[in-house]
Structure formats: C-alpha cells, structure tokens
Structure 1
Amino acid sequence: MPAPLVTPQRTQQSPIKLNTLKSYYAPELRPLEFQYTKVAGTLVGEELVLDRAGPVSQVVFDGMKCPLRKLHFHAPGEHRIDGMIAELELHLVHEILEYPDAYPSAYLFVGVMLAPTTDKTAPVHALAPWLRGHFDGRAVTRAARDARQDYEIDPSIYLPEDRAYFRYEGSMTTGDTEEIVTWTVLRDPKAVEGPGPLQLDPKTSRLVQPLMRRYVLRNFALIA
C-alpha cells in the first residue's frame, strides 16, 4: 500500500516572539555594516518602494553587500521583544544577491521597533496617511517627480545608536509568506516624528508564529 502524499508543514514562519533569556549568544555574529545614503522611492500604501535606477543604500551582512529595496511599516509591530509590542515596526528589506547559489535566503530583513513622538492633540491618522505626513516632515524631502508620491529619504534616520540584534531564519509576513528570509531584529527602539497620533490597525500586522525547532541567536552578551 503506497504511503500517503504529505505536504510538508511550514516551520519557519514570521514574526515570532524574541526572548532575550531564551536566545543564544553567538559572539561570532558580525555587526551589521549599514552603508546608507539618501535614496528615492515611491510610497505605495504602507511601504516605500525604492527606485533601483538611483543611488543605492546597502548593508554588509556576513561579508555580502545587500542592497536595500523597500521600507515596509506595520502598526502595531509584529515581533515581540521580551513581551513588548511596538506601536510601529519597520522592515528594511534587503536583497541577498548571492541567493540561491551561495546563500539559502533571498532577503535580509532588518526589523526596527519605532516609537512615534508627536503632538497628542493632533488628529489621529491611519497608517498610510500617517506615513505621508511623516515623509512630508523635516526628516525627509519630497521629490519633484511627475505626479507620483515620490520621496527622498535617508534610511539611517530609523537606526538606533546601538545596533545589537537578534537573528533567526524565517519568512515574509505578507503575501505568500515564503520562507526565504534571514531576519535581524534590532533590540533597541528608535523614536520617529509623525503628523499626529497613529491609529493602530491589527490588519496591517501578522500574528506571531510558533518558533517550532528553530533557535534565535543574538550578537550581544547579557550584562551581569
């Protein structure tokens, strides 16, 4: 009697809960080398898709130069760090050019927990309008390019001073959630300014997924 055909269960889904005490210190993990510069992009809903014809921002990851392709925002945040949920989470999506010949992941996602600071008396904004107001603020400059919602931005404004991170193998959190992502989630949050209070919408964020048989690594030691 033939064995039944079984579809393998997905076991590397994102986001997950990140627990410092249950993660493993890996001193061999190199610091991420951010080589960010001002880039242009088009705002589409909750993400800024970067222009590939213009200047390139990139991060050096495990000796590989990975260009930044888009900035994707979620409100509330998707990952949980030691039980805390960020009001806003940014995913800096980098392409791993060595995939699949020399590296098993197609993308390096850098997750950053953002803390919006704004006038609480201003009107509440849903995520997409909040982003338009944020990009129109002093942190970035509107690009004069046709009638599209194009902007110029220096992605380094979203990076905290301390770049300590968690690392694990996972998936995209939108679309078909392909398991082709290496995640590095920065431990420290970063404050950002916006046009007013941000309206949280759980539909913009995926629920946390089980860790299954994975390990979460960190590149920082615990202070005794």
Structure 2
Amino acid sequence: MPAPLVTPQLTQQSPIKLHTMRSYYAPELRPLEFQYTKVAGTLVGEEFVLDRTGAGCHVVFDGMECPLRKLHFHAPGEHRIDGMVSELELHLVHEILEYPDAYPSAYLVVGVMLESKTDKTGQAQPLAPWLRGHFDARAVARGRRGDRQEYEVDPSVYLPEDRAYFRYEGSLTTGDTEEVVTWTVLRDFRTIEGPAPLQLDPRAAGWSSR
C-alpha cells in the first residue's frame, strides 16, 4: 500500500504586512551594497530576464555577491508598509550562490515600492505607460525573437535615495511559492517623475495585475 502524500506546512509565505513600529531594529545587519550597471536582457512574458553575461550587476548582501538574474513588477503592490500599498512593486531577484551549502535561501529579492508624482492639479499620473521608459530606447533596435523583446536596463534608476530596508525570511509570490527567499523590502517609496520616453502597450510592459 503506497504511503500517503503529506503536504508540508507552509509557515513563511509572502507577501506580508510590514509595520515600522512593530519591527525589530537590528543594527548588526549590514547595509545593502548595490553594484548595478546597465545590462542586457530579454522580456519573457512578465519578467525581464538578464543575460548571464551581464557581469557586475549584483548586490553585496551579508558579505556575499548576489548577481541580479531578473526583475518584474506587480500592480498593485504586494507588500503593505504601514498600511500603504504602492501602485507598482518592483521585485529585483538575485541568486544566492552559496545556497544550499552555506546559506539557507536560494534567492535574495529586493522589493521596491514605486509611486507616481502628482501634477499641478494634484492628480497622480499612471505608472503603466511610464514603465518601459527606463528600458533603453536604443536597445529596442536589437530586435525581436518570436515573442521575446530584447532591451537594456540600468536597475539603479528604480532605487530610492535611502536604502533602509525591512528583512524577513519568506517565499516566492508566484509559481509554487517555495519558501527559499530572503526578502529585503526597501522602506522608502521611489517617486517616479516625468513621462516615459517610450509609450508602449502596458499589457506587455513586464508587469502583472492581480
């Protein structure tokens, strides 16, 4: 008689609600060191996947160099910070090369909350048309392979000036939601100013709606 299937209990699911006043301040945690540069990649569905040759684009986390592998957006944002939800939430997905031998998580995901700047009338401009404005316009000429569009991007343009962050152990928020993620969600929202240089179809702009 076959053994019954046992579904493991999931105890570290993401996203979560983050509260500044309820968070534990851990001065021993090191600041994130973003070593970002312009890199090439391919838009596959809702994700911008970096070429493996994109050397040098990484974050130094707990003394480890974690290369950036892909980025994607969620609309609206998934995490809540002090009750606030962003219009767009960017996830910068880094690979932790020391997993599983020396570190328990396979990925370091940096979450960035994006909000639009209000105009003179007090109205906020929608971010969806803006989104591809930070994908280098010259890279569009590299061409399309099937449904895959090639671009270049400098991920540093999405980061707020203050890089203070919340940190917790959690899961992927898509797919099998495997609990192999160290989350660092930046506390400050990144305000987006100005129109997008590229006005492309927002449905193909690398963001997902829920």
Deviation, structure 1 residue 135: 4.0
Would you say the 8 A contact 2:134–2:157 is kept in 1?
no
How far apart, in 1, do the equivalents of 2:32 and 2:68 lie?
13
Would you say the 8 A contact 1:135–1:151 is kept in 2?
no
2:151 matched to 1:146? Answer: no
**Counterpart residue number, 1:210:** none
Task: Pick closer, same or farther for the CA change 1:150–1:118 going to 2, 3 Å.
Answer: farther
The residue type equivalent to 2:152 in the other structure is E
The residue type equivalent to 1:107 in the other structure is Y
How far apart, in 1, do the equivalents of 2:75 and 2:161 lie?
22
Would you say the 8 A contact 2:39–2:54 is kept in 1?
yes
How far apart, in 1, do the equivalents of 2:96 and 2:14 lie?
18
Deviation, structure 1 residue 45: 3.0
**Counterpart residue number, 1:221:** none
Deviation, structure 1 residue 115: 1.0
How far apart, in 1, do the equivalents of 2:18 and 2:124 lie?
33
**Counterpart residue number, 1:204:** 209
1:60-97 deviation digits (Å, cap 9, x = unpaired): 00000000001110010000000000000000000000
1:101-135 deviation digits (Å, cap 9, x = unpaired): 0000000000000013488798x78x5x7644x34
**Counterpart residue number, 1:74:** 74
How far apart, in 2, do the equivalents of 1:54 and 1:26 lie?
33
- What are the residue-to-residue correspondences of 1:71-110 with 2, within 5 Å? 71-110=71-110
How far apart, in 1, do the equivalents of 2:116 and 2:150 lie?
22
How far apart, in 1, do the equivalents of 2:22 and 2:68 lie?
30
Would you say the 8 A contact 1:46–1:72 is kept in 2?
yes
How far apart, in 2, do the equivalents of 1:5 and 1:185 lie?
35
Aligned-residue RMSD, C-alpha: 2.8
**Counterpart residue number, 1:222:** none
Would you say the 8 A contact 1:68–1:93 is kept in 2?
yes
How many residue pairs match? The answer is 193
- Larger relative contact order, structure 1 or 2 (CA cutoff 8 Å, min sep 6): 1
Deviation, structure 1 residue 146: 3.5
For the residue of structure 1 that corresponds to 2:42, the secondary structure is: strand
Would you say the 8 A contact 2:77–2:86 is kept in 1?
yes
- State TM-score, norm by structure 2: 0.81
Q: Which range moved further: 59-68 or 186-195? A: 186-195
Deviation, structure 1 residue 41: 1.2
1:148-167 deviation digits (Å, cap 9, x = unpaired): 42111111001111000000
**Counterpart residue number, 2:44:** 44
The unaligned stretches of length 5 or more in structure 1 are 206-224
Would you say the 8 A contact 1:111–1:183 is kept in 2?
yes
How far apart, in 2, do the equivalents of 1:6 and 1:47 lie?
32
Would you say the 8 A contact 2:66–2:94 is kept in 1?
yes
